[in-house]
Amino acid sequence: MNTEKHLNALIASYETVIENVGEDVRREGLVKTPERAAKAMEFLTSGYEQDGPAILRKAMFAEDYKDMVVVKDIELYSLCEHHMLPFFGKAHIAYIPDGHIVGLSKLPRVVDVFARRLQVQERLTHDILECINDTLRPQGVAVVIEAAHMCMMMRGVQKQNSVTTTSGFRGQFEKQETRNEFLKLISSNLS
């Protein structure tokens, strides 16, 4: 849990990092940087204190709707656990209800719960998928994430135009016909 003691420990850690890269933490432009960085890190990792299934359960409604529900182009921002550099992109989620629907805003909230942790894109995809599948118990769930990784763009291979795509499918989406319908919907511009 984020407490003043926790925040102060993060601030001290950022002071150490700044000093270890050869900067003067007392320099005017850097005086407040450790505190700002610590508060940013608390926000960027706030998903550890949130419960995805609880978010979904608060907005589950009995409904006899049995067709596909798609929410696409959900912005996501996360930190790569290997370099603690950002990765960002879009999540596309679909589910086929089996007696219950969920408030549409809850799906992007679930994305944020798992994105605001130190992550790899593969686990992020799986975490979102399993949270929805285990909580809603739908006929099927699909999750596709497309993201750019700063660890590949700023350092290492330095490939600015690379995008990583991960996907996961459960239930009815394991059938090629249903999966293809979802993939067609997320790649089309219907507006």
92 carries an active-site annotation: no
81 carries an active-site annotation: yes
> Which residue in the list 121, 131, 139, 172 is annotated as catalytic?
121
- C-beta separation of 74 from 108 below 8 A: yes
> Which residue in the list 80, 92, 119, 139 is annotated as catalytic?
80
151 carries an active-site annotation: yes
> Which residue in the list 83, 130, 146, 181 is annotated as catalytic?
83
Closest among 57, 59, 93 to 73, alpha carbons compared: 93
> Which residue in the list 23, 49, 63, 81 is annotated as catalytic?
81
- CA 146-148-154 angle, 5° bins: 170
Distance between CA atoms of 136 and 101, rounded to whole angstroms?
A: 8
80 carries an active-site annotation: yes
Distance between CA atoms of 106 and 57, rounded to whole angstroms?
A: 9
Assigned token pair, 157: 């291979």
131 carries an active-site annotation: no
83 carries an active-site annotation: yes
42 carries an active-site annotation: no
Q: At residue 67, what is the residue type?
A: D
Backbone angles phi, psi at 6, to 5 degrees: -65, -45
Residue positions annotated with a catalytic role: 80-83, 121, 149, 151
